[in-house]
A and B are shown apart, each in its own frame.
Chain A
Amino acid sequence: MAKETFETFSGCKIRLLRGGQGAPLLHLHGALGVSAWTPYMERLSQHFEVIVPDHPGFGASDTPDWLDNVGDLAYFYLDVMKATGLSGVHLSGASLGGWIAAEIAVRDCHALKSLTLTAPAGIHVKGLSKGDIFMWSPEQMTRNLTHDPKLAEAMLAVPVTEQQQMAAMKNRLATAKLAWQPRLYNPHLYKWLHRISVPTLLLWGDHDKIIPAGYGPAFRDLIPGARLEVFANCGHVPHIEYADEWVRKIADFTREVAT
């Protein structure tokens, strides 16, 4: 199980979940945040010391005055890694968290050992529309998250507490602040993805309704030496839909790059 702490960096108090032992793996969550230590985190923690922060503006973390864009979060996490003396970090990010991870890596790869991006936001390909997450109701969002409708049904069957609803509002507001316009990307990021100097793994579901799988090859071609692996019959959240396989791919990849 994970340990929950609250720590302050760059004037912002954030919540961190930590579990497991081994090389550090910093996982950056997506737009929906993390409400708890979930099965994919538990499985990852069998291979790594897993660190999962709530981003500034999200979940149980504070919303700092300085938070305006994803670049602010990238510098924030560089500060966090420096302040905690982290090095040799396997950086992982899903969706919005993948975008933040890419922005960190284009700025400074010194503390990183590898980068894993799961269906990251962050770039735009003309003609390849993303899902309009802000126009969807919470139910539509859940249905559009996964490929298997039975999984969506199961997620919808779990009652939502008022506290979770409040957190969802907060996460939605922070996501809008970061990603409403331009929608889910930084028009300048693509120009600098070549600066990423650590081995990079891209993971994508072939039926992603939020960031279509066509973004996978686009990212792969922009990041030197990046490898793209696609999950068949999978939506936007392979870490939830195929947690075992997702964890195995990351464990194999990080083992491979370590040798």
Chain B
Amino acid sequence: MKFFCFHLMPYAALDPDYDKKYNSAWVTLPNSYYDPKIGHALYNRYLDELEFADACGFDGVCVNEHHQNAYGLMPIPGVMAGALSRRTKNKIAVLGRALPLLNNPLVVAEEFAMLDNITGGRLVAGFVRGIGAEYHSWGANPAESHERFHEAHDLILQAWTKPGPSVFEGKYYHFEYVNCWPRPYQTPHPPIWVPSQGSRETIEWASHPDRKYTYLQTFSPVAVLARYMAMYRETALNYGYTATSEQVGWSVPTYCAETDEIAVREARPHIEFFLNKLLRMPQEMLLPPGYLSLASMQGVVAAKRALSTGNQTIEDVIEKGVFLCGSPATLREKLAKYQSEIGFGYLLPSMQFGTLPAELTHKSIEMFAKEVIPHFRASAAPARASA
């Protein structure tokens, strides 16, 4: 199994009482809550943490894109990837660019190609649709989200793989001169990962034999992870091939400390801040019309599932397997169990979350790298009977 240290780069100094006046840390939370002096320190601290993870034995580091919120401060993730490119030695994954938000997706072809050249082929390219709230922030039409994602993807792939200049004729994008300078360093292009909160449509698309992209289940209970990983394998079999463990991964906040008790005690306020303050948003913000297909959306309503949940505790998320937290022995045991049952090839632990401070983040990264990762180095993902 390979390990990539994920970072959301939250605005950890957010006034926790903001929610007495505002219903979300997204879209409408005034940016007067942001202090650039604190932001300067946080950005540099977070970059240090990723560089430290790279040096400690992680296979790579991950950054991502979110707009106009306190949850994650990387509206332009390529800036962070660029800052990381010179001092890291391993992979850098940008997970990912939110394609439907862009008027011209060629900018992503160029940005990723630049990063791939600077790093000599250490880039992993992620493509996403962004979070529902971002369609409000950016005025991007969520009803066009799926179509634009697919068309933007096709355009970027054409820019990377078809000798330029070439013509692209789509519904949303039409270019007479697709001619990406620089071309990507890796041939035919950087590996493509597709993070998702779980959708059959995304899996059918990512697992298609023309793509075979790595599907990443993000921030989901382990039971949901198992269901979607099985769905990926089954879909691949229906396409006529067997998916490898490298085609599936799991992104999950993780905290490692001396004992389970210390881990829970130290992580509690910080993960609960993440859950109850940074993730907070009403359903209309989270799921604008069209963001999910009509069938999925009607399913959500039919099931009357509470999407913006009430206050969550650390116990809730550990229990559900949404948060990995414990001693190295506990984490080894859980991961070995999950991996043998589910068979994912990539783990993307968010080693910093919410308000977790620098010292604890540092300690957790180091302990995880020394006492958990090596345990999974000896063998590749164990062979498992296909469903």
Contacts and interface: CB of A to CB of B under 8 A. Distances in A.
Partners in one complex: yes
Interface of A: 134-137, 162, 165-166, 169-170, 172-173, 175-177, 180-181, 183
Q: Which of B142, B284, B290, B298 has the most CB of A within 10 A?
A: B284
Contacts of B136: 134-135
Interface string B299-310: 001100000000
Contacts, number: 48
Contact of A176 (B282, B285, B289, B302): B289
A177 B143 contact: yes
Contacts of A137: 282-284
Secondary structure dominating the interface of A: helix
Contact of A169 (B139, B142, B283, B297): B297
B126 to A, nearest CB: 25
B141 A177 contact: yes
B284 A181 contact: no
22 contacts: A134-B136, A134-B284, A135-B136, A135-B284, A137-B282, A137-B284, A162-B302, A166-B298, A166-B301, A169-B294, A169-B298, A173-B294, A175-B289, A176-B142, A177-B141, A177-B143, A180-B141, A180-B142, A180-B143, A180-B288, A181-B139, A183-B139
Nearest to A133: B284
Nearest to A165: B301
B289 A181 contact: no
Contacts of B140: 181
Contacts of B144: 177
Interface residues of B, number: 20
Contacts of B143: 173, 176-177, 180
Given A175-B289, A176-B142, 6 more contacts: A134-B289, A169-B289, A169-B298, A176-B290, A177-B141, A181-B139
Contacts of A165: 301
A173 B301 contact: no
Contacts of A183: 139
Interface of B: 135-136, 139-144, 282-285, 288-290, 294, 297-298, 301-302
A121 to B, nearest CB: 16
A177 B146 CA distance: 12
Contact of B285 (A135, A170, A175, A177): A135
A180 B293 CA distance: 17
A171 to B, nearest CB: 9
A175 B144 CA distance: 12
B274 to A, nearest CB: 24
Contacts of A166: 298, 301
Contacts of B142: 176, 180
A172 B284 CA distance: 11
Nearest to A63: B294
Which residue among A162, A181, A183 has the maximum number of chain B CB atoms within 10 Å of its CB?
A181
A181 B288 CA distance: 13
Q: Which 3 A-B pairs have the closest CB atoms?
A: A177-B143, A176-B289, A180-B141
B284 A176 contact: no
A6 B288 CA distance: 30
Nearest to A175: B289
A134 B286 CA distance: 11
Contact of B284 (A136, A169, A173, A180): A136
Contacts of A135: 136, 284-285
A144 B239 CA distance: 50
A183 B298 CA distance: 24
Nearest to A134: B288
A175 B143 CA distance: 9
The interface centre, meaning the residue of B136, B143, B285 with most chain A CB atoms within 10 A of its CB, is B143
B289 A172 contact: yes
A189 to B, nearest CB: 18
A251 B289 CA distance: 37
A166 B295 CA distance: 9
A177 B290 contact: yes
Contacts of B298: 166, 169
A172 B301 CA distance: 13
Nearest to A138: B284
Contacts of B283: 137
Contact of B294 (A136, A170, A175, A181): A170
Nearest to A178: B143
Nearest to A167: B298
A175 B289 CA distance: 9
Given A135-B285, A137-B284, A176-B142, A169 B290 contact: no
